[in-house]
Amino acid sequence: MPKVLSLDKSLSVLEEVFQSKDGVGTRALEQKLGYNVATVHNIAMTFCHRGYLRQDPVTRHFFPGMRLMHLGRHPSYLHSLTASASAIVDEVAERLNESVLLGSIDRGRVLNLKYVPGKQALRVHEPEDVSDHSYCTAFGKVLLSSLSEEELETYLREIKLEQFTPNTITTQENLRRELEKVREQGFAQTRDEYCEGISAVAVPIHDPWGTIIASIGASAPTIRMRKARQFEESLRGLQDAAARIGRIWGDELHGESTKKKGARKRKTP
């Protein structure tokens, strides 16, 4: 299939900017992509004029713009995430024999995208919107740890840190320390924080650029989850599921490459 070279170059510039958390300048883009510096500059500035990128007035580095972020949050966005991950969520719930939840954060709202309740007598139930108590859930901590400082400040202004149990985090200082711990260790856990007798563990799901876009977690009665073996099995199972979901989303983003691979396989006798 023929491709429009100018559009292909433009999208490469856009993707490269998204991969850099600290922004990227024209020279760096030129070196990474191998395009003429004037071409790179003109493409990036055109995206800036349309709102898809923004340029820092001091460093001159390019960053993702608000218009592209709004397009990325199309109403079908969360449905797409759920549909892609649904079978894996079912599978890990069956494997762990506990309640499993897939969640995401959208404009400060922490959402339950899919919930599979455990089949055992003692199990956990979750509402659709858990924003008001996400700070004392494992998957909520993972999602909150992905927020920028400004986004976290906004969340903390809107949400009261209510105490549900003696173990609930109720101060911003302690919550910030907890979120830093989550970032460092790569997973979150709770023990009797939202509901006494209930514990959970959760891990992040990353997009191809390394950004956390969702979280998957398992919850169970503390009497089961506090056992080291149960915790480790849950953590490994969730990490495996998160990696598989991330690969699926990556394949969907690079659909052309996936189709080419499939075509080659079909030619094999």
Q: Is residue 137 part of a domain?
A: yes
How far is C-alpha 80 from the chain's CA centre?
A: 13
Same domain, 137 and 180: yes
Same domain, 135 and 109: yes
Look up the CATH number of the domain holding residue 25: 1.10.10.10
Same domain, 47 and 83: no
Same domain, 63 and 181: no
pLDDT number for residue 3 = 79
Same domain, 209 and 145: yes
Profile the chain (269 residues) by mean pLDDT over runs of 10 residues.
Answer: 85 87 88 92 92 88 76 63 88 94 83 85 61 91 92 90 95 97 96 94 88 91 90 96 88 50 41
Q: Is residue 44 part of a domain?
A: yes
Look up the CATH number of the domain holding residue 208: 3.30.450.40
Same domain, 67 and 82: no
Is 215 in contact with 139 (CB distance < 8 Å)?
yes
pLDDT number for residue 150 = 86
Q: Which of 16, 36, 71 is where one domain is finished?
A: 71
In angstroms, the first-to-last Cα distance of the chain is 24
pLDDT number for residue 77 = 64
Q: Is residue 229 part of a domain?
A: yes
Q: Taken in order 213, 194, 190, 201, is the CA torsion positive or negative?
A: negative
Phi (first) and psi of residue 235, to 5 degrees: -60, -45
- How many distinct structural domains can be found in the chain? 2
Q: Is residue 141 part of a domain?
A: yes
pLDDT number for residue 127 = 57
Same domain, 81 and 60: no
pLDDT number for residue 118 = 81
Q: Taken in order 65, 159, 124, 222, is the CA torsion positive or negative?
A: positive
Please tell me the distance from the alpha carbon of residue 20 to that of residue 62, in angstroms, as a whole number. 9
Same domain, 63 and 83: no
Spatial neighbors of 28 by CB under 8 A, at least 6 apart, are 20
| Residues in the chain, overall count | 269
Same domain, 47 and 142: no
Q: Which residue segment(s) compose the domain that 239 sits in? A: 76-253
